[in-house]
Amino acid sequence: MSAGPLMPKATAVWLVENTSLSFEQIGDFCKLHHLEVKGIADGEVAAGIKGLDPVGTGQLTREEIERGQRNPEYRLKLADPKVRLPEVKRSKGPRYTPVSRRQDRPNAILWLLRNHPELKDAQIMRLVGTTKNTIQQIRERGHWNMQNLSPLDPVTLGLASQIDLDMEVAKAAKDRPPAEEGGQTLLPAEVTTAHAEEEPAPFADREPPPRHGQEKIDVDSVFAKLKGLKRTDEDDDE
């Protein structure tokens, strides 16, 4: 799929106002739906957008427009750019840090060392554009300004993007050796939540031995004594 022009809606506005090209031709050239181009012609879409001349910007030639106006089936083609800009390649070295942000690099290094100790020095260098010597000084607390440093997120400081930070952390986690299994483990839930069975008390089925000096009480003799005491009291009353 070929690339479209710069500012496609503004280009479509100019082509609608200054040419007799069909909606399909303009939509194909500007990578817009033909109904959207019709809405531009009706004033329902792109209201307030000023048209951009594709001829003046070198994106289209007059000959190409005339060829399209003569043949409604013809599809316009972008003009070859007169100046080709070289492709910008990302350097593999340390990230360039603006002068206004360089004073924040030690704070960002301290934050990375505390929150992501798994990161290697080369990864920290790529993220904040520092040197290995500076990282080592902060790690060993030998930096000249160590007392005034405070850990700050490099993403918040604008020294690194969140995507780059996440990518470096994921890479460091992948290279980290797996943790050794073993040591104390938690008991399973079925063990901790199970009710302990009540064990019978020892010797619960045995009768307690009689206390020392305690005799078995004879109920009949007790009542006989009570009757004798009652008769004696009645004789005294008479």
R_g over Cα of the chain: 47
Element containing residue 105 per DSSP (H, E): helix 105-115
Which residue would you say has higher pLDDT here, 100 or 24? 24
Residue 211 reports pLDDT greater than 70 = no
pTM: 0.38
Instruction: Provide mean pLDDT across the span 35-54.
Output: 86
The model's pLDDT over 127-180, given as tens digits with 9 standing for 90+, comes to 988 899 999 999 999 999 889 999 998 888 888 888 888 888 888 888 766 555
pLDDT at site 174: 80
227 vs 38, which has greater pLDDT?
38
Model confidence band, residue 205 (pLDDT cutoffs 50, 70, 90): low
78-83-89 Cα angle (round to 5): 100
Q: What is the pLDDT of residue 27?
A: 92
CA 148 – CA 167 distance, rounded (Å): 30
Confirm if 114 and 41 have CB atoms less than 8 A apart. Answer: no
pLDDT at 13 over 60: yes
Q: pLDDT at position 69, please?
A: 93
Confidence label for 16 from pLDDT (cuts 50, 70 and 90): very high
Whether the CB-CB separation of 168 and 119 falls below 8 Å is answered with yes
The predicted structure's pLDDT at residue 11: 92
pLDDT of residue 63: 93
User: Cβ atoms within 10 A of the Cβ of 176, count?
Assistant: 9
Model confidence at 104, pLDDT cuts 50, 70, 90, reads confident
Query: What mean pLDDT, rounded, does the chain reach?
Result: 77
Cα separation, 229 vs 2, in Å, equals 130
Residue 195's pLDDT band (cuts 50, 70, 90): low
Tokens found for residue 56: 């003046």
Residue 193 carries which DSSP code? S
pLDDT tens profile 64-81:
999 999 999 999 998 886
Q: What is the DSSP letter of 203?
A: T
Quick one: pLDDT at residue 58? 87
d(CA 64, CA 50): 22
